[in-house]
Amino acid sequence: MKKQDFVNKILAYHPGRPMQEIAFAYAPSNIALCKYWGKRDEELNLPETSSLSVSLADRGATTLIKLIDSNQDEIVFGEHSLSAASQFAKRVSHFLDLFRPKGQGFFIKTDTNIPIAAGLASSAAGFAALISALNLLFGWQLNNKELSLLARLGSGSACRSLWHGFVEWHCGQAQDGLDSYAEPLNEQWPELRVGLLITHTQQKPISSREAMKLSKTTSLYYKLWPEQVAKDLPILKQAIMTKDFKTFGEVAESNALAMHATMLTAKPAVLYWQPETLQAMYAIWQLRAEGIPVYFTEDAGPNIKLLFLAEQADRMQAHFRSLEIVAPWHFTEKLNN
């Protein structure tokens, strides 16, 4: 099935026409605790496995959108107007084509308070904010589950950025992808903290899309990945329910390392780690050896995310000076659910 057919199917019962001149939306970034790595359908962004994330509260992306009488989109990122030839603008315009009224362009102003393309899930927040803004602009009145299905077409992990808190993306089985959407977990963990250790902000050498494709098609170890997720996901959910931080941290860390193992064994190998990444990993393992409960996770980029509880916040800040601590259950941005 083509992306456009998928979109037409979802919007069939929500015809919609521009309801307001301008629309604005926010979506949080999310960090996977059990990763999405590998697609079973490249066109529809259907994953091989389910995944689970925690959203980053007020760390995310905003998008303002309006229709313009032009055959070209105008995309402003932060303070900069982007050239239509830039990778980012092309990706956004390509996504907008799925919803574009004939002969019209979009004006988009988007902003994020997380470094883009450094493995901090900025595209997830970006596409989730964009689809939420389109929903308001066109008056589709889609619910978050439907928005999750559409956000998925922009970037897989974006389907988890429609909610705060813990969110599970069900991989689904159907060929048409209508059962592959995210849903929030009915669990809270207000003491949980995510520490962003941002050591690199430059563009990553290879996109997650390419890296997961390479892992799936060339690594012998990728065969084990679905098995790893099938084991990790229920343990992680149980640990969240019982607030068993040790198990939670152990599984999240080992799941991230297993994902990186499929990259290391790809041909050619993909290694996002930098010397500072390893330094941080050793520092975390040293703290654990001293009895301090702190774990890490890492996505398709060199930046480590620490997982710890509020009682360790001061110690972590002292140990990792540049650490930005996010409290996932402390947010001011309201989402539309």
Residues that bind ligand PMV (CB under 6 A): 32, 35-36, 51, 121, 123-124, 155-157, 208-209, 299-300
Beta strands in the chain (DSSP E): 22-34, 39-41, 46-47, 51-68, 74-77, 80-81, 105-112, 166-169, 182-184, 192-197, 295-298, 304-309, 324-326
Smallest gap from Cβ 300 to ligand PMV, in A, equals 4
SS3 317: helix
Return d(Cα 159, Cα 53) in angstroms, integer: 11
Cβ proximity to ligand PMV, 37 vs 138, nearer residue: 37
Cβ proximity to ligand PMV, 146 vs 168, nearer residue: 168
Q: Name the pairing type of β-strands 166-169 and 22-34.
A: unpaired
Cβ proximity to ligand PMV, 41 vs 191, nearer residue: 41
Return d(Cα 230, Cα 250) in angstroms, integer: 16
Cβ proximity to ligand PMV, 51 vs 148, nearer residue: 51
Smallest gap from Cβ 19 to ligand PMV, in A, equals 29
- Identify which of 313, 311, 308, 279 has the alpha carbon closest to the alpha carbon of residue 296: 308
Residues 6+ apart with CB under 8 A from 7: 98, 99, 150, 153
Cβ proximity to ligand PMV, 32 vs 65, nearer residue: 32
Smallest gap from Cβ 270 to ligand PMV, in A, equals 11
Residues 6+ apart with CB under 8 A from 275: none
Smallest gap from Cβ 101 to ligand PMV, in A, equals 27
Smallest gap from Cβ 206 to ligand PMV, in A, equals 12
